Each structure stands twice: as structure tokens, then as C-alpha cells.
Amino acid sequence: MMKAAILFLALTSLALLTVPARADDATDQLQEARKAYDKGDYATALTALDAAAALIRQKRAQQWQSLLPDPLPGWQAEDAQSTTVSPAMLGGGTAVTRNYYRGTDKVEISLVLDSPIMQGIGSLMTNPFFTNDDTKVMVINGHKAVYMRSDNSYQALVGTKAMIVVKGSLMVDEPTLKAYLTAIKFSELEKAAQ
């Protein structure tokens, strides 16, 4: 009886190991696209590929949410939110945003990623023609950042695919904005944006 029980447990364990892992929604859509493509149903294949791409963008956005900093002492933060845009609209991209509060003061940190317009914005930020009395250029965490007084915001590019915007309400001082910008995990963001 004992040998039979051990054999049953061994066979059950072996059977569980051979069961394929449950695919996630993105791989399900990719498989659906492949099946439709093989059947010549190109409309369904394209729809499934678009759905898979959107699901993958959402997964990337969730990864990027973890790169936003914790609130500074005395501040509170909401959960990060993300928005993904299809390449059909302005080339696509992802925005991840988190709001921080202290009383009536508010700081919003946004990451804009995977958008083809980043290269154009980068060239504008580095062009001396666009710097004036309203802007102050500095290097933070090894990256060029621009502080815009009229907007009470910092903007910084990370590589060619990510832009960080740290914007404060009217009464938030520049050192607080700079502290939030410095708290961003630039090196991790750079790796994630590649």
C-alpha cells in the first residue's frame, strides 16, 4: 500500500511538471494572430497583434511605475497611473504619472516613454536658441535638465526614448522639485527605456 501511494504521488508530480505553463493575455493574442495568419484571416491577425502590442505596452508601463520615487518626508503620494497610446496616434508612446501632496502643495512627476517625438524634443532642449531668462539649464544625475520658472517644472531627457517632467503647483519651491527629480532612478529608467 505504501509503495502504491509513493508511486501515485510520483506520477502525479511528474504529470504536473509536464503541464504547460499558462500563457498570459499577450501570448494568447500572439498565438491567435499566428493562427489567423496561417488561415489567411489577416484582419483577425492584425487585430490580435494590435491587442498583443497594447498588452505589452501596459506591462512595460507597470515596470516604469516602480521607477517613480517615494514621497519626500512630509509628503504623500497617490498610486502611479499609466496611459499607453497606439503608434497610430502621433507615433504612440507611454506616459506614467504620479502625484505627490503636502497640504495644498502638489508635485506631478511624469515619464513619457517610447514616443518618436522624443528625439525632436531632445534637439529643442539642447538648442541654445530656446534658452532664455525663463529657463535654467543644469546637470542632475548626469543628465541635462531644464528648469522653467514660468511653468515651475523640470524637464530632463534620458537617452532618446524617455522624458521626465517634474511639475509643481505655484507654492512648491524649486529645491523641492529638484529633490524629486534627483530621487528618480535615472540609471534604471535608462535601462528600461532601451
* Number of other CB atoms surrounding residue 174 within 10 Å: 14
pLDDT attached to residue 15: 35
- DSSP annotation of 86: -
Fold of 70-192: Phosphorylase Kinase; domain 1 (3.30.200)
Weakest-pLDDT range from 18-32, 73-87, 119-133 = 119-133
Weakest-pLDDT range from 39-53, 59-73, 77-91, 93-107 = 77-91
* Number of other CB atoms surrounding residue 154 within 10 Å: 25
Q: What is the mean pLDDT of the chain?
A: 75
Cell of 5: 501511494
Phi first, then psi: give them for residue 100, nearest 5 degrees. Answer: -120, 140
Q: What is the pLDDT of residues 90-114, one digit of tens each?
A: 455 778 899 999 999 999 999 887 6
Claim: this prediction has a pTM higher than 0.85: no
Q: How far apart are CA 189 and CA 64, in angstroms?
A: 7
Domain boundaries, the chain: 2-58, 70-192
